[in-house]
Structure 1
Amino acid sequence: MINLTYQKRQRLKLIMIILIFTAPMLVAWGMVVWRLGIPEESMANGNVNVTLPELAQWPIDDNKPLKSGTWVLVFDCAQKCSQRSDELWRLHRALGRDAERLTRLRIGGEDPALPGEIVTRWSLKPEWARPNNAWLLDPMGQTAVAFGPHLSTQKLLDDIQHALKVNPY
């Protein structure tokens, strides 16, 4: 048994308290400097490295206003429009209480709008638009994630739920 004097015990307690509070900062600093423990890839199913203009600059017939402060799921309905539109309507319902935080904007298609969906058309189709692609836009109108036409609805739902979870307002 180690016999420590009162002063040495107090110093040891002080050093331990300092270590407890500074160790997380030192570890975080090491992670930033040496990139240890930080994943190199994104965890999203869609493409997060998207550089598209804001929604306000998209060449669409903007005859119906979007609810401000909501995320927007935009999809280009070029082929199998009614099927894809139905899948995204079901996805929207699967969000539960977060459904009010998302607005669906369908570009193209001949079918009438489903509940909670806004339908518009391209006034001039941009070169970056691909048939049947979907884009998730943040409340500011910036594209957060782009989804290819063959991505499953479940993976799309996972990405939307994650975006809504990490951005609570």
Structure 2
Amino acid sequence: MSPLNRQRMKLLALIMLFAAPLASAWVMVEFRIGIPDERTAHGELNPDVPRLAGWPLVDPRPAIDHGDWVLAFDCAEGCEAEADQWWRLHRALGREAPRVTRLRLGPADEVLPGEVLGEWQALPAWRDSGQLWLLDPQGEAVLSYSAGVDPQDVLADLNHLLRMNNDQATALSDT
């Protein structure tokens, strides 16, 4: 092989080295090969849920820090065990726990640490008994969970959202 052909082969190999990832990515997208179809969130998206400011709650409205994620759960009656479960989940967040506020909607005999109480003024149509909502810092419902959801699933979703939105926490702490 002549030196000129050897240089051409090196150039062709270099071009293939950079073109191969692009070509394989195009094949994956075009033919849906190797792209997972299942979703990663355990909760459900529910666009019918209005912002927290639009929820029919009794005045005075619960005081929630601006910039906090909200874990709101509906508690009709006798849900001390459920409130304790969400308190334990909040503790499991570790150093991310201050970024989350728990909102218990319904009557309560005692308030757990870090919990805010609120009551329904009127029961909205989008509410189900025992439901849990995860709200972003702007008050938008990101995910909703039905009654009896596994707390580990909620913890996984919440950890993922807090990790993916870490820049927001640092921006708020700088102001």
TM-score relative to the length of structure 2: 0.82
> How far is the alpha carbon of 1:58 from its aligned partner?
1.6
Q: Counterparts in 2 of 1:1-169, with a 5 A limit?
A: 4-47=1-44, 49-51=45-47, 52-61=49-58, 63-169=61-167
1:155 is paired with a residue of what secondary structure?
Answer: helix
> How far is the alpha carbon of 1:86 from its aligned partner?
0.8
Unaligned runs of 5+ in 2: 168-175
> How far is the alpha carbon of 1:18 from its aligned partner?
2.7
TM-score relative to the length of structure 1: 0.85
Q: Report if aligned partners of 2:71, 2:132 keep a CA contact under 8 Å in 1.
A: yes
Q: Report if aligned partners of 2:77, 2:106 keep a CA contact under 8 Å in 1.
A: no
The alignment-based identity, stated in percent, is 43
Q: CA RMSD in A?
A: 2.0
> How far is the alpha carbon of 1:141 from its aligned partner?
2.1
Deviates more, 1:127-136 or 1:109-118: 109-118
Q: Which amino acid aligns with 1:14?
A: L
| Cα distance in 2 between the residues matched to 1:142 and 1:19 | 47
Q: Report if aligned partners of 1:63, 1:120 keep a CA contact under 8 Å in 2.
A: yes
Unaligned runs of 5+ in 1: none
